[in-house]
Amino acid sequence: MSSIGEFQKEQTANATVRWSLLGATAPGTATQSIVVPNCSFRIGRRPDMDLRIDSPVVSGSHAELFQSGGNLYVRDSGSTNGTFVDGIRITGDTLLSDGAALDVGDTGFRVVKHFHNATGPEAAALYKRTCSSQDVFNVVGRRSLSQLLNGGEALPCYQAIHCLKTGAVIGHEYLVRTALPGIETPGRLFEQARKAGREIELSKFCRAQGMQFSHLIPSCTPVFLNTHPMEPLLDVVVPHMLELQKQYSGRAMVLEVHEAADTEPGLIREARRRLAAVGIKLAFDDFGCGQARMRELISASTDYIKFDPSLLRELQQVSAEQLRLFTAIIRGIQGEGVIAVAEGVETEEMATMCREIGFDLVQGYLFSRPSIL
């Protein structure tokens, strides 16, 4: 006589595998279970789709689900905003597992696998399965990211950069902030972009937003714009900056090269040459954090060097001799025409040390906090 466990295994083995999508097809509507048939199942905005989603972020024919060998697959149909599985944008036929998060544009579903002959409370529970709170947060964040990058706007947030001697404002760095749920902070925003494979798209969006709102700050001060380490400097960043310069020809700009970016000296020299031809200046950002970058410092000059806050905090603990050595380095780069900027200055003690070292500019909470204008 077989055991109950063996009987259950036999029942499962003989059962027909079925798949469904759990989610809401429009904001404010109830969550529903949508059975995926064995044949091709098309999702999109057009009325002739098997599952119609009325969203401007969803393409007319957006994605297709199909089954093979009891497994469920998804392929993107050349959509504008992409199809995502567990936060990653797919590029080919992709296997869907039970519980996977499937995002079609800005609409999210949970993939559910069940068996045709399942009965009782366990079968009913399959249709009631829902996202955990963290999953909901991620779905909301992904939708907000799609909304932001497809015609949305960030907030006009800038932090002033000051002359250390006079306190005068000499520039403003654009710092991306949004009011959209799930991506309210830069950390959450760029994490969602990383999961979606849209870091470069987001970085270009941020620079464009920084210039779009630049009329809110004095025209006499340059706008400092950031890069993402994944962006190819010559192929993506420099052409984008040249486009922005044509749009905002009356505004001075400074491009901050991320400390984790590829900063091979020849590449930096060529980027600086192209930017300088149209009046755009170059800065090394977060200097002293991560890579030593001494090779770039010696072989490829720049207009600004922004020293990382962690380095400045460490300088408060070093010996007088070590501090003199660092001061000599600052004097040396200033002798080459480079402007030295101290970042993250939050206390009077840090400001005093920066004055003793001889920094030109300063940025930090002690002088100005990031402000939404």
CATH of the domain at 56: 2.60.200.20
What gap in Å lies between CA 15 and CA 5, rounded to an integer?
15
What pLDDT was estimated at residue 280?
97
What pLDDT was estimated at residue 28?
65
The separation between CA 349 and the C-alpha centre of its own chain, rounded to angstroms, equals 34
| Same domain flag for 105 and 223 | no
43 and 53 Cβ atoms separated by less than 8 Å: yes
Task: Give the confidence band of 243 by pLDDT, cuts at 50, 70, 90.
Answer: very high
| Same domain flag for 324 and 237 | yes
Q: Establish if 145 belongs to a structural domain.
A: no
Tokens standing for 354?
A: 């920066």
Average pLDDT score over residue span 342-363: 95
Nearest-10 crossing angle of helices 265-276, 238-247: 10
Q: Convert the pLDDT of each residue in 192-232 to its tens digit.
A: 888 888 899 999 999 999 999 999 999 899 999 999 999 99
Q: Establish if 20 belongs to a structural domain.
A: yes
| Same domain flag for 180 and 248 | yes
What pLDDT was estimated at residue 298?
62
What pLDDT was estimated at residue 355?
96
| Same domain flag for 25 and 122 | yes
Q: Establish if 251 belongs to a structural domain.
A: yes
What gap in Å lies between CA 207 and CA 255, rounded to an integer?
9
Burial bucket for residue 132 (CB in 10 Å: 0-12, 13-18, 19+):
exposed
What gap in Å lies between CA 268 and CA 233, rounded to an integer?
8
Task: Give the confidence band of 20 by pLDDT, cuts at 50, 70, 90.
Answer: very high
Q: Establish if 86 belongs to a structural domain.
A: yes
Q: Convert the pLDDT of each residue in 258-305 to its tens digit.
A: 877 767 788 889 999 999 999 999 999 887 665 555 656 665 578 999
Q: Convert the pLDDT of each residue in 296-351 to its tens digit.
A: 666 557 899 999 888 888 888 889 899 999 999 899 999 989 999 999 999 999 99
Q: Convert the pLDDT of each residue in 109-154 to its tens digit.
A: 889 988 755 444 443 333 344 344 444 456 678 888 888 998 889 9
Considering only CA atoms, which of 15, 194, 211 is closest in space to residue 115? 15
Enclosing domain of residue 26: 4-130
Count: domains in the chain? 2
| Mean pLDDT value across the chain | 85
What gap in Å lies between CA 162 and CA 170, rounded to an integer?
6
Tokens standing for 105?
A: 């544009």
110 and 23 Cβ atoms separated by less than 8 Å: yes
What pLDDT was estimated at residue 196?
81
Average pLDDT score over residue span 81-88: 84
CA dihedral 185, 190, 196, 202 (to 10 degrees): 110
130 and 137 Cβ atoms separated by less than 8 Å: no
What pLDDT was estimated at residue 115?
72
Q: Establish if 19 belongs to a structural domain.
A: yes
Average pLDDT score over residue span 42-65: 91
Count of beta carbons in the 10 Å neighbourhood of residue 311: 16
Could you report how far apart the first and last alpha carbons of the chain are, in Å? 77
Q: Establish if 137 belongs to a structural domain.
A: no
Q: Establish if 175 belongs to a structural domain.
A: yes
Considering only CA atoms, which of 231, 230, 284, 283 is closest in space to residue 252? 283
| Same domain flag for 25 and 105 | yes
What pLDDT was estimated at residue 89?
86
| Same domain flag for 318 and 232 | yes
Tokens standing for 31?
A: 């969550």
| Same domain flag for 104 and 230 | no
pLDDT at 5 over 50: no
Phi then psi for 58, rounded to 5 degrees? -95, 130
| Same domain flag for 165 and 61 | no
What pLDDT was estimated at residue 305?
93
Tokens standing for 352?
A: 């005093």
Q: Establish if 143 belongs to a structural domain.
A: no
87 and 80 Cβ atoms separated by less than 8 Å: no
